[in-house]
Structure formats: structure tokens, C-alpha cells
Structure 1
Amino acid sequence: MNLNLQPDTGRVPDNNGQLAVLLAISALYISFGMTIGLIQGGFPTIMRAQGMSLGAVGWLYALYLPFGVAFLWSPLIDRWRPPFLVPELAWIVPMQLLCVLSVATVALLEGAALSLLFTLGLLVAFAMATMDIALDALAVERISAGWRPRAAACKLAALSIGAMIGGGIFVALYPPLGWTAIFLSYAALLLLLMVPALFLGKATSHSAKTEEQKKQGASLQKLLRNPVQRRRLILLTLTCCVIFPLSALNRLMLVDLNVPMETIGSLVGTLGPITMLLTAWISAPLMRRYGLPLAMMIFTGLGILALAAMTLGYLFTQSWIAVAGTIGIGAAVSGIFVVLSARILGWSRGNQPATDYAMFYGVGRFASTLATIAVSQMVALINWPLFYVGGAMALLVVVGLLRTSVQEKE
């Protein structure tokens, strides 16, 4: 069945141009991964180790909410671009610079009120989420169909490197370096990672939209009115609500298992992203050889094994098994994420790439953030093994439902 809903628009670079685009967007995805890693794996782990209750730690994931609701302002990114910059950088540069300035401000506010720091954290999340929408739109417009598996794998690899920095190296180096040095270094790295995109803008500045497309305007309703796109969005959101809580809360489980924070930061925070990098390396050839549906099922099988390992590790107080399972579920979820990323690049190909891509990712992010907060409260009332058993059953159900949509042609 051919579901080519919308024709491709815009000029797609040749192989050298494709490689340049991949390098530039990968650098920016590293900065995005750093921020996500800090929110997911940095602050919650430190706060839990300092004695904060599991329920209270769960609320720290509220910093992730701007990433989930960014789709609400994504039509603006499709309709209007700030002046004085080439189109490819019109949103990316200002938002990245806002992140840099906000993080540098945080570095100078050690000991400030928690409410002020939390507000600055939300500002960083807002700016990074907006930058990510513009970056995703650039990928949708400039990556050809044959390069989508590689683009999805590069995105995972970049996010993994960023997560290693934000959720691993940050946690490990924070005690010896201190607040000011670590956040100033963080800001400097964000600035450095923007440089490749500056050259990309000079090389590929181009407006792909026709005047008629501009008059039509981007809107969230366009995607929601399309029954095929709407079904894809619902299934994708359900999948996110399962896979992200299964991967986000496991460091808290390790803390409850009395695994030292230094071990969590240095071992899980490092081996986890390295495993994700390996997943990125094998996922592209796996998808090209066996197809997206079978690749997704292979990673789902890995996820079931990882959940079993964490359940056994917790029940029998075997921390090394629980750590192995924590690393394994990260790789499994990452593999599923790569398959979905490759498919979403095609699903979003049309007249409003920023809006469609942001809807596919944003609604899932928002719903999965709420699900993660809710599950953290639930785990405090039940136990970790029951959570993992239920999670394994839910994973099999949602992946089975999503398989049909992944098989569909665009």
C-alpha cells in the first residue's frame, strides 16, 4: 500500500552535501543530548543519593516538559524565521546562544535560591527544545530517503555522546571540579558545538517553500485531520509512554539497591552511552538488510532480556546483574528509537516539516514525561520487580501495534 501522503519538497544535497549536513546536525544533537542527559541522569541521581524521596525526585523530571510541549509553537518555526540569518540558522543560532548565556548565568549563581535555578533550567530546556525543532526540520528537508537510516543512527550516536557528557561525565566530575567550573565548561562546549552549523548555513542557504505553501500556513490541525498520520501519532505516543519510563528510572533503582553514586555516574553514565553508540553503529546496516520492522523486533527482544536482568538483580541483590540490565535497556530503547527516527523523517516530509516532526516527537515526549512522573509515584507504592514485569508486557503490546505503521510506505 502506497501511503505517500505528501510530496518531497526542497533541494536535497548530493552525497558530499549529505555528509556535511549529517556532521553539522550531529554536533548540535550532541548539545541536545547533553541537556537531556543532565535532566534525566544528572540531577535526579544526585538528589536521590542525598536523601530526597523517590516521589520528590520524580518531580525533577518536570524540567523535561518543554521538550514535550515544543510542538505547540512549532508552526511558528515553519511560518516565520527571524531576520538577519540564513534560513537554516534563523532559529538554531539564537536558541543555542540563549542556552549558552543561561548556563553561564547558572555557573555564577552557586547557592542561589532553588526557584531561580529551576527557572533558568526551564529557560535552557525551552531554548534547547526550540533549537531541536528547527534542527529536526533541517534534517527532514535535507536528508534524502536513502540516507535516513544513517541519519537516524547519527542522531542516536550524537545523543549518546551528549548523554555521556551530561549524565555521566558531569556526575563524575562535579565533586572535584565544583559548580562554577563545570557549568562554565558546559556553556563553552555548547558554543563550540554550534560552529559546524555556521558553515552549513553558508553552503546550503535555500528556501524550499513555494509562495502558495507559505500562504497555506503550518498548523497542528493539518496533521490531526489526516487519519493515517493521526493513527501513527497515537501509536507512537503509546510506545513512548512505555519505553521512556522503562529507561529513565533505572538509576533510581540502582540507588535503592545501594549501588554507590560514583559507580552509577562513572559506570552506567559511561558504559550506557557507549552501548548506545554501538547500537547506533549496527542499527543502520541492520535496517538496510532486514528492514525496519524486523530491526525493531530485535531491539524489543533485547529490551525484554534487560528487564528480566534488572528484575533478577533486584530480587537477589545482585548489583552487577541490575547494572547490566540498566545498560541493556538503554541500548534496546535506543535501537527502537533509531527505527522510529528513520520512519518519522519520512512521515514528516512535506510542507510543514518542523510542525509534523515536532508533533510526532513532541506529543510522545510530553505524554512520556507525564508517564515517567506518574510511574515514579507508582513504583514507590509497589516495587521495582512488579514494575519491570508490567513494563515487559506493555512493551510487547505497543511494539506489536506499531509494527504495521512501521511497515507502511510513506
Structure 2
Amino acid sequence: MSVRRASAEARDRGLPPPAAVVIGVGGLYVAQSVIGGVFFTGLPAVMRKSGASLNDIAFILITVLPWSFKFVWSPLVERWRAPHGRPKRSRPVVAAIGAFGVGALAACAFIGPTALAPLAVAMMVASFASATVDIATDGYAVENLAAKNRGWGNSAQVGGAYLGNAIGGGVFLILVDHLGWTPATLVMAVALVALAVPFLATRETAPVTSKDAPPQSLGAALRRPEVRYGLLLVAVYVVGQKWAALLVGPFLIDAGVSLSTLGVVNGAGVTVSGLIGAFSGGYLLRRFGAYPIMQATLAVHVIGLIGFAVCAYLQARSPAAIAVLVGLQLVGAATFSLGVTALYSELMGRVSLAQAGVDFTLFQSMDAIVSVIGWQITGSFGDRLGYGVCFMTAAALGLAALVALPAIGRRGSSLRQADQGA
């Protein structure tokens, strides 16, 4: 469908033009990922360069907890943003909560990367604000995009995540290397404001929800077996795919890669690879389905982890070995984005349209909870066990997830058939 025709249909339903919605939410998705890129990709490398241990780095990453537990307050956010019987108020919610995130990131600029306790507090505030804005953004996107246009919103979400991580984990590292911590972090705070402007300029004309509609709740989500098995699917897949993510940046730094080089790899290389994987997902999903893609990407991931483990055991530091490691990272980025696209495509079929924001937030929170558990484990034992053991353990977990996926897929299919029969 053409953009012109989609815009005409949106006007007929009283919705904003889809292009305006996609650009608006896309800016917010990029901004949220800028914060994540700074905290979870850029900062660990800066801390390692400053002599921090893997345990210190793992401590800082507790600031992912708001993303892990945002499901707890997601019904409250949605009731505030979209009160039944009254007009939606997404823009005031995003503006108010987003201001706390910008202020907290600016505070990080003056705290510095070595003052762990105050830095963790400021990061926690920024992460809480970012996670809350994400709940409101997802709800706005679902309400203001017709069902046939929501694929555009999904592209904005996936692409925005990679672009934001490129800025926060790539451009940020280059700026730190050349300007220092404070100016680089302030530039990121200004970028957040600029990225929010398109959304704050959009109109919100989604229909008002009936005053008699039941309120959104976690209980309604957890009573549905499709959601419960979706949570299991997320947990298994994340254990297989994400638990070694914390180690890659510090390992490359220890192997002799400079901050600027790592910034270029994380910025341009990982972003391009990730976008290729994400945007190829639409075609591949239609042809092969979600579970075969998830299995294939897990298999590639396991092979990559074994490659990292071999380099770690051999203590490879030559330019050729570093080139191999960077290549493995780029291939891993492409397959990871493709696998996550398949995963969340599968999860979309498990979401109730009556409270899509709450259901989808549950899945995202499970992703974050399992991720942070793995990062804490690898960070706590990484210094004692070494990179080689950690990478091989992660590869074994990936292989276990690969074996478990078919059974979960069969159960998911039976639940759908039962639901349709009912």
C-alpha cells in the first residue's frame, strides 16, 4: 500500500497520517536505545579502560532492573495515558517522564564513570524514565496505527533500537575518546531532546475508549496460557542468545582494541549488520516461519561463541585474530536481530488486543529479567573463571535452548488451535 493511500485511510478513521506516527515513535525508540547504548554498551567499555573489574561493570548493569520490572507499573501508566472515557494524553506523559531521563543523563555527565554509587542512582532514574516512556510509546503506536500499518511501527522499533545503540554505544565512545566523559554525555542528553521533538509535534486523535471497558491488568494477562508459554519462550531464547553479551566489549578491549575502533565497530558495523538482519526478517518469516529462524540464529550464535572461546583460550592478540573476533561480532549482530525479529513476531500472536501494551510489556520484562541475571552471573564469575570458560558455558546454554525450542513451538501451536476451536 502506498503512503498516500495509507494516509487517506488514516484520515477516514480519524487517525494521524501513519508516516507522522512512525517518525514520532521512531524518534522515541531511538532515544530510549541511546540511553541503553550509553549504559549497557558504551559505559562498560569506558569502565574497563579505566581499570574497573568485570564485577564492578556487572554492578552498574543493575540499572537494567526498571526494564525488567516495568510490567509492574505498566497498567498504571496505561490507565494514566489512556483513561477510559477521556481523551488520550500520550504527549504530556512522554514529556513529563522523559524530562527526568534527560536530567538524569545530564547528571551522569558531571558524576563521572568511576563514582559507582551516585552514577548507579542517576542511571537508575534515567532507566526508569526510559522504560516508562517505552510503555507509553508502544500504547500510542498500537492505537494510532491501523492494523495493516503496524509493520511500519515495528520497523521503527527495531531500526530505532539499532540506530540508538549505534549512537549510545558507538558515537558515544568516539566522543569520549576525543572529548572526554562530560562533554560526550552532555551531547547524548541534548540528542534525547532533539529525538523527542517529532513525537511531541504529532496529533493524538485515537478514539476514546469506552468508559465501561474493563481496566488493564496483569492478572488478565497471566490467566491466559498463551502469555505464560510466551514468557517461557522468551526466557529460553534469551538464555541461549544474550548471556555472553556483557563479555564481548571488555574482551575486545583486553585483546587490544581501542575505544575508537570499538566505537566504530559498535556504531557502523553492528548497526548495519543488525539492520540487515532485522529488515530481512519480514521476507524470511513469511517463507520459513518464526521457529526455524530462531533455531538457525541460535545455531550461528553457538558457533560464534565457540570461536570467541577458542581465541580466549589461545590468548590470540594478532591483527588477524582481532579481525576474526570483529567478524564474529558483526555476524552475531545480524543473526541476533533476525532472531529477535522472529521471536517478537511470534509473541505478537500471543498478545490480547484488549490490553496489548500490558501483555507485550510482560514479554519485554521477562527478556530484561533473564538478561540481567545472566549478566550478573558472567560479571561475577568472569574474572575468576576467565573468558574462555564463560564463552563455552554460554555456548552450552545456547545449544540447550536450541534443543528446547521445538517442544515449546509444538505447545504454542496446540494452544492456538485450542483457542481457535473454542
Please indicate the TM-score interval, normalised by the length of the shorter structure: 0.7 to 0.9
Distance 1:358 1:283, change over 3 A: same
Select between 28-37 and 171-180 the one with higher mean Cα deviation.
171-180
Give the CA deviation at 1:135: 1.0
Give 2:96's aligned residue: 94
CA contact (8 A) 2:38 2:168 kept: yes
Q: What TM-score, normalized to structure 1? A: 0.86
Select between 249-258 and 358-367 the one with higher mean Cα deviation.
249-258
Give 2:328's aligned residue: 325
Give 2:5's aligned residue: none
The one-letter code sitting in structure 1 at the alignment partner of 2:25 is I
Distance 1:391 1:376, change over 3 A: farther
CA contact (8 A) 1:307 1:389 kept: yes
CA contact (8 A) 2:302 2:395 kept: no
CA distance in 2: counterparts of 1:399 and 1:66, whole angstroms: 28
Give the CA deviation at 1:92: 1.8
Identity of aligned residues (%): 24
The one-letter code sitting in structure 2 at the alignment partner of 1:391 is L
**Match of residue 270, structure 2, among 272, 275, 285:** 272
Q: What TM-score, normalized to structure 2? A: 0.84
Q: Which runs of 5 or more structure 1 residues have no equivalent in the other structure?
A: 1-9
1:229-281 Cα shifts (integer Å, max 9, x gaps): 21211221232233222333211222343333332222244311221122222
Distance 1:75 1:274, change over 3 A: same
CA contact (8 A) 2:15 2:145 kept: no
Give the CA deviation at 1:72: 0.8
Select between 287-296 and 130-139 the one with higher mean Cα deviation.
287-296
Distance 1:404 1:101, change over 3 A: same
CA contact (8 A) 1:154 1:280 kept: no
Give 1:340's aligned residue: 343
CA distance in 2: counterparts of 1:12 and 1:342, whole angstroms: 28
Give the CA deviation at 1:129: 0.5
Please show how residues 28-177 of structure 1 align to structure 2 within 5 Å.
Answer: 28-81=28-81, 86-109=88-111, 114-177=116-179
Please show how residues 361-376 of structure 1 align to structure 2 within 5 Å.
Answer: 361-376=364-379
CA distance in 2: counterparts of 1:358 and 1:12, whole angstroms: 30
The one-letter code sitting in structure 2 at the alignment partner of 1:338 is T
The count of corresponding residues between Structure 1 and Structure 2 is 397
Q: Which runs of 5 or more structure 2 residues have no equivalent in the other structure?
A: 1-9
SS in 1 for 2:81: coil
SS in 1 for 2:73: helix
CA distance in 2: counterparts of 1:357 and 1:12, whole angstroms: 28
**Match of residue 310, structure 1, among 308, 311, 330:** 308
SS in 2 for 1:212: coil
CA contact (8 A) 2:53 2:383 kept: no
CA distance in 1: counterparts of 2:284 and 2:149, whole angstroms: 14
CA distance in 2: counterparts of 1:143 and 1:349, whole angstroms: 16
CA contact (8 A) 2:16 2:144 kept: no
The one-letter code sitting in structure 2 at the alignment partner of 1:71 is F
CA distance in 2: counterparts of 1:143 and 1:352, whole angstroms: 15
Distance 1:11 1:63, change over 3 A: farther
1:106-155 Cα shifts (integer Å, max 9, x gaps): 33555995433321111101100100111122233344554455433332
Give the CA deviation at 1:339: 1.8
SS in 2 for 1:205: coil
- Structure having greater relative contact order (Cα 8 Å, sep ≥ 6): 1
Give the CA deviation at 1:207: 4.0
Give the CA deviation at 1:304: 3.2
CA distance in 2: counterparts of 1:174 and 1:101, whole angstroms: 19
CA distance in 2: counterparts of 1:380 and 1:335, whole angstroms: 31
Distance 1:102 1:389, change over 3 A: closer
Give the CA deviation at 1:97: 2.0
